[in-house]
A and B are shown apart, each in its own frame.
Chain A
Amino acid sequence: MAETIEPSAYFFGYIGVASAVVFANLGSSYGATKSGVGICSMGVLKPDLIMKSVIPVVMAGILGIYGMIVGVILQGKVSSITAASASKQGYAYLSAGLCCGLSSLAAGLSIGIVGDAGVRANAQQDRIFVGMILILIFAEALALYGLIVSLILSQTS
């Protein structure tokens, strides 16, 4: 006789899928728009630096990709929840989605604010470019940490 699967497992699992995508995209959009405003302000007087200054926008865009990756992986896992440990898997996938989503949100906030300040400062002082890139890399790594833990959590059975 087939065991019935605890229905709340799907509820929490799909909350995880949604939160991974939604929060990561929130972070990505904040990063892109905040640095974008800086680029537009800076570009008025230094149009040659615009293409170099688009780097924070690209790094913020990557955060949305992290959210999408985790969302797709979790969606596949939630659809195939086994009956034996259904509720455990449901909560684990909720946790995975929250980890990736909120980490990417935090990273996006950081990338946006640092990118905005960085591109404006870069327009005034050439030597700042390397420093800005280093700080942006540290901020991007935060989202990577969330992605790693999400992928570990998505492997629970």
Chain B
Amino acid sequence: MNWGNPYDWTELEWQSATWGERFMFIDPYFWSYFGVALALATSIIGASWGIFITGVSLLGSTVKAPRIRSKNLISVIFCEAVAIYGVIMGIIMIGKVQTIESYPDDQIDECYTTALFGGYSLFWTGVSVGLSNLICGIAVGVTGSGCAIADAQTPETFVKILVVEIFGSALGLFGVIVGIIQCSGASFLKNCLT
């Protein structure tokens, strides 16, 4: 349908509106900045979750086996890396938001849909990066906790469980790679002349 002013839409037009037409009046800047907040905040929640899961086991096991203390801090560092992934993605996404100065009169619909595209892609980048870093943080935390406890009993198991932990930390990296590809296509001004 011809979009026009949504305040002028009739009841019939609202009934036949598509999902896109219902969501399009939410500002694209909201989607993009909320995506930034999601990417950062959920990554850091994942990192902190991992840090306290592994930290508690590390501290408890060190009581009887003080030698494990320094080696097992690497699990905490892996969790911290998850937070850094979130920070990197957040800063990349902030750089992708472009200001739309004005629309040429004959291109309002095309320009606005381009802006919506940019907004949606940044939001879902935030969701994919944030959720994968959340899960990665928990995974690294749990394996790190197992690593500390096993190391306290049998020192040979440290490196073997560390390999499992490295595989776990790759999950966050997958999220960052996909996120970078997702937001690299985000453009607020692609088809617009301004």
Binding site for B on A (CB under 8 A): 12, 85, 87-88, 91-92, 94-95, 98-99, 102-103, 105-107, 109-110, 113-114, 117-118, 121, 124-125, 127-128, 130-132, 134-135, 138-139, 141-142, 145-146, 148-149, 152-153, 156
> Known contacts A118-B59, A142-B83, A145-B83: does B51 contact A95 (CB below 8 Å)?
no
Q: Return chain A residues, CB-CB under 8 Å to B44.
A: 102-103, 106-107, 142, 145-146
Interface residue range, chain B: 35 or more
Q: How far, in Å, is B42 (CB) from chain A's closest CB?
A: 8
Cβ-based interface call for B90 (8 A):
yes
Report the minimum CB–CB distance from A61 to chain B (whole Å): 17
CA distance A35 to B28 in the complex (A): 42
Judge whether B159 is part of the interface by a CB distance below 8 angstroms.
no
A125 & B56 in contact (Cβ 8 Å cutoff) = no
Chain B contact residues: over half helix, strand or loop, or mixed? helix
Least Cβ–Cβ distance between A136 and chain B, in angstroms: 9
Q: Which residues of B contact A85 (CB under 8 A)?
A: 99
Query: Which 4 A-B residue pairings sit nearest by Cβ, starting from the closest?
Result: A102-B41, A95-B33, A106-B48, A110-B48
Interface centre among B30, B77, B84 (most CB of A within 10 A): B30
Contact of A118 among B45, B55, B70, B84 (CB under 8 A): B55
